[in-house]
Amino acid sequence: MYCVLKGTQLHFYKDAKFAKTMPEQTLKGEQPLNLLGATALVANDYKKRKHVFRLKLESGAEFLFQAHDDQEMNNWVARVTDIQDAKSAGPSRSQTLPASGQKDDQKRKSFFTLKKN
C-alpha cells in the first residue's frame, strides 16, 4: 500500500505509480482519512515489525503503519503533528479580514499601474 498525505487527508493507493498516474483512483475505492484531530505516535509497544507508528483518529479508530526506516516514520509522525498544530493556531494574520471600522471611501491602490500613451 502507498499512502499520500494531501492537506489534512490521507489517501491510499496500490503503489506510487497509481498515485501519480491516477490520483482519483484510490486503493479499493477507499475514501481518504481525515486527519483533523488525529494523533500519530511511534508504536514502541509493537514488536512484530520495525518502523511502525500508530495513527489515532478523532473518532477513536486506530491504525498501524510501517515506514521504510526510522527517518520516514518520524517524518510521518511530525507531519500529522504539524496538521494539529496548524489547526490549533487558527488562521494566520494574512487570512483575517480587515476591521469593519475602516472607511469605504479610502482610495484603493493597485500593484499594477496603467500608463496612458
pLDDT number for residue 55: 93
pLDDT in tens, 35-49: 999 999 999 999 999
> Is 83 part of a structural domain of the chain?
yes
Distances (CA, A) of 26 to 56, 65, 82: 21, 17, 24
Banded model confidence at residue 112, pLDDT cuts 50, 70, 90: very low
Identify whether residues 44 and 84 lie together within a single domain. yes
Task: State how far the Cα of 51 lies from the Cα of 87, in Å rounded to an integer.
Answer: 27
Min mean pLDDT across 2-16, 42-56, 82-96, 99-113 is at: 99-113
Q: What percent of the chain has pLDDT over 70?
A: 74
Identify whether residues 22 and 55 lie together within a single domain. no
> Is 39 part of a structural domain of the chain?
yes
Give the mean pLDDT of the chain.
79
DSSP letters spanning 21-36? H-TTS-GGGPPPEE-T
Identify the CATH number of the domain in which residue 69 sits.
2.30.29.30
Identify whether residues 30 and 61 lie together within a single domain. no
pLDDT number for residue 77: 93
pLDDT in tens, 14-25: 999 988 998 888
Per-residue buried b or exposed e for 60-91, using 16+ beta carbons within 10 Å of the residue's own CB: eeeeebebeeeeebeebbeebeebbeeeeeee
- Domain boundaries, position 45: 35-88
**pTM for the model:** 0.67
Identify whether residues 49 and 13 lie together within a single domain. no
Name residue, grid cell 482610495: 107
Min mean pLDDT across 38-52, 62-76, 100-114 is at: 100-114
